[in-house]
A and B are shown apart, each in its own frame.
Chain A
Amino acid sequence: MHVDLFTGLVLLGSFLAGFLGALTGLGGGVVIVPLLALVFHVDMRYAIGASLVSVIATSSGAAAAYVREGFSNMRIGMFLEIATTVGAIAGAVIATHVSTSTIAIVFGGVLLYSAYLSVRPQPALPPDPTQDRISRFLRLDSSYPTPQGAEAYTVHRIPLGFGLMFGAGTLSGLLGIGSGAVKVLAMDQAMRVPFKVSTTTSNFMIGVTAAASAGVYLARGYIDPGIAMPVVLGALGGSMLGAKVLVNARTKTLRIVFSVVIVALGAEMIFNGFTGRL
């Protein structure tokens, strides 16, 4: 395949991935790596390198839209970024020491789990009004806008959340994805941060987390300009368009369709990993 055709097709695929990722809230990274590896037969290392940079682009590109809503909590984000960045470097270093087949199998597992989370969302937990000593010390308690006015919230189980964030960072660095789903899970389910605050704060954290492993990826030659160029531009354009139409979209059907795609990709990643084809 010639470079111009390859670039065009990867651009189109990444655009679709970014678009669906933004609409479903699953992020584009989870489909970009299998798309590059399975469809375009790109080496896993190039695939995760390109995907990681696209994650930074979509996260930073969406930030301006998110902060205007006033949900994100800078203190929670910055405190937890200590865990995600250390995890990200650890994940990126692990990635350079294990076989690409192992990475493909872990990636497949994460895809299957994301699909499961997507079709069986955790029930929204009622606010937990009890005080938390660590949260008070770290001044993480805040409030967020609701239709009924500002609503205060307290953050709980901070050591558990911090540990989960380290895991989210490791996955991000190992697989070149944003791992926003794990970040939201840690904040929403473990730390009992309101869902909207969790998702917007998570978006902020994704870019910083990815930047931490980007240094390791760059030094190991995982970021190839020829692949990263169409992936970054496509994913960025797709996610920006996705964020625009998000308001009017019927996302439930789309989530199911996207989940089916993710399950298929996950199964194929695991199969190819075990047979040593990736």
Chain B
Amino acid sequence: MNTSANKSGWNDQRIEIIVGNLLRSGVLLSAAVVIFGGIVYLSRHGHDVASYRTFHGDSSPLRTLTGILHGTLQFTASAIIQFGMLLLIATPIARVIFSAIAFAVERDYLYVAFTLTVLAILAYSLLGAGLH
């Protein structure tokens, strides 16, 4: 039991380094998309008046996955930025998926179950957004 614990401790460390790099790549990729969308956004709307005093987000088309994808394909600046936000939200989720695989490889089924529970909660939150 002790030796297997040590061995899995070493594997954990290696997996975490991979996961850490994965997270950083995800963040840099989303940042690149957001910067690109931001440049397009400022070039088109830079001289508009910024008004965020009152909330009217409840009528925004960028509240759903389909709305964001549709806008991105039409090259709408705000949709491209929002697509970058989606990528950003997806990075920690990718990390959870990766952890589930890592625990499965280690045959640590208790933690596979825990990880899938977290994944189900995340899916509930995000798919709830997509189905609206």
Is chain B a partner of chain A in the same complex?
A: yes
A43 in contact with B52 given A211-B122, A212-B122 (CB within 8 Å): yes
Interface extent on A, as a size class?
35 or more
Within 8 A of A (CB), among B108-128: 108, 110-111, 114-115, 117-118, 121-122, 124-128
Asked whether, in the complex, the Cβ of B9 is within 8 Å of the Cβ of A142, the reply is yes
Q: How far is the CA of A227 from the CA of B13 in the complex (A)?
A: 37
Asked whether, in the complex, the Cβ of B57 is within 8 Å of the Cβ of A222, the reply is yes
Interface string of A53-76 (1 = CB under 8 A from B): 100110111011111101010110
Q: Is A1 an interface residue (CB 8 A)?
A: yes
A85 in contact with B122 given A207-B23, A210-B92, A224-B60 (CB within 8 Å): yes
Residues of A at under 8 Å CB distance from B? 1-7, 40-43, 45-46, 49, 53, 56-57, 59-61, 63-68, 70, 72, 74-75, 78-79, 81-82, 85-86, 88-89, 92, 138-139, 142-143, 204, 207-208, 210-216, 218-230, 232-233, 236
Given A82-B114, A229-B38, A236-B31, 20 further pairs, Cβ under 8 A? A46-B52, A59-B92, A65-B20, A67-B17, A78-B96, A78-B103, A81-B96, A138-B110, A139-B110, A207-B91, A207-B95, A208-B95, A215-B89, A215-B124, A218-B63, A218-B126, A219-B129, A223-B62, A225-B37, A232-B85
Residues of B at under 8 Å CB distance from A? 5, 9, 12-13, 15-17, 19-21, 23-24, 26-27, 30-31, 34-35, 37-38, 41-42, 45-50, 52-60, 62-64, 77-79, 81-82, 85-86, 88-93, 95-96, 99, 102-103, 108, 110-111, 114-115, 117-118, 121-122, 124-129, 132
